[in-house]
């Protein structure tokens, strides 16, 4: 039983159902709704060790690493601010995921691909977070290696 299957069984016992990846379209010409939100291939959740009350969600969506950063706030209904941070289209921070997805490796390589994606996402996520904190949140000015959008 794989780790995913074990986690699914554990969560099912608690009444929680895991999200499923969207199936690719059949060859009969059906297309997925491109405006529909894409599910993450890999997701990691972290609490910040350096910033009190901050937590992160790291996702790999269509081979693009994304970090959602949630900060405590004194105003607003949820008392939180949220930011979506990701590298621009031509960034070298996207390249490892593109190369990994394109590689036609051995069966052993294919079996380890999820683990490689998780480790790469963690490493690139750390860099993205450092770029975010190097910026000016008040003026929304950040290094050009990242794109920052306020989402909450």
pLDDT one-digit tens code per residue, 32-88: 455 566 677 788 999 999 999 999 999 999 999 999 999 999 988 889 999 999 999
Q: Decide if 13 is inside a domain.
A: no
Q: Decide if 2 is inside a domain.
A: no
Number of domains in the chain: 1
Domain encompassing residue 54: 32-150
The percentage of the chain sitting over the pLDDT mark of 70, rounded to a whole number, equals 76
Query: Could you tell me the pLDDT band of residue 150, with boundaries at 50, 70 and 90?
Result: very high
Instruction: With 0.75 as the threshold, say if the pTM is over it.
Output: no
What does the pLDDT read at residue 27?
Answer: 46
The percentage of the chain sitting over the pLDDT mark of 90, rounded to a whole number, equals 59
Q: Decide if 125 is inside a domain.
A: yes
Query: Could you tell me the pLDDT band of residue 15, with boundaries at 50, 70 and 90?
Result: low
Q: Decide if 12 is inside a domain.
A: no
What does the pLDDT read at residue 2?
Answer: 65
- Is 31 a residue whose pLDDT tops 70? no
Q: Decide if 16 is inside a domain.
A: no
Is residue 106 within 8 A of residue 57, CB to CB? The reply is: no
What does the pLDDT read at residue 30?
Answer: 47
What does the pLDDT read at residue 97?
Answer: 92
Q: What is the pLDDT of residues 108-130, one digit of tens each?
A: 998 898 899 999 999 999 999 99
Query: Could you tell me the pLDDT band of residue 6, with boundaries at 50, 70 and 90?
Result: low
The number of beta carbons lying within 10 Å of the beta carbon of residue 81 is 17
Q: Which of 49, 69, 79, 72 is nearest to 147 (CA)?
A: 69
Look at strands 80-86 and 64-72 and give their pairing. antiparallel
DSSP string for 84-111? EEE--TT-TTTHHHHHHHH----HHHHH
Q: Decide if 15 is inside a domain.
A: no
Alpha-carbon distance 79 to 128, whole Å? 24
- Is 29 a residue whose pLDDT tops 50? no
């Amino acid at each position: 039983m794989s780790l995913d299957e074990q986690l699914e069984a554990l969560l099912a016992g608690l009444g929680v159902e895991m999200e499923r990846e969207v199936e690719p379209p059949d060859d009969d010409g059906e297309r997925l709704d491109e405006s529909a939100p894409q599910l993450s291939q890999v997701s990691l959740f972290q609490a910040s060790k350096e910033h009190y009350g901050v937590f992160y969600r790291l996702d790999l969506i269509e081979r693009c690493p994304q970090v959602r950063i949630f900060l405590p706030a004194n105003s607003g209904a949820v008392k939180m601010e949220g930011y979506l941070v990701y590298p621009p289209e031509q960034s070298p921070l996207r390249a490892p995921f593109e190369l990994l997805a394109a590689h036609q490796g051995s069966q052993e390589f294919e079996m380890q691909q999820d683990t490689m994606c998780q480790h790469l996402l963690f490493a690139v996520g750390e860099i993205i977070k450092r770029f975010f904190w190097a910026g000016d949140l008040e003026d929304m000015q950040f290094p050009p290696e990242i794109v920052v959008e306020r989402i909450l």
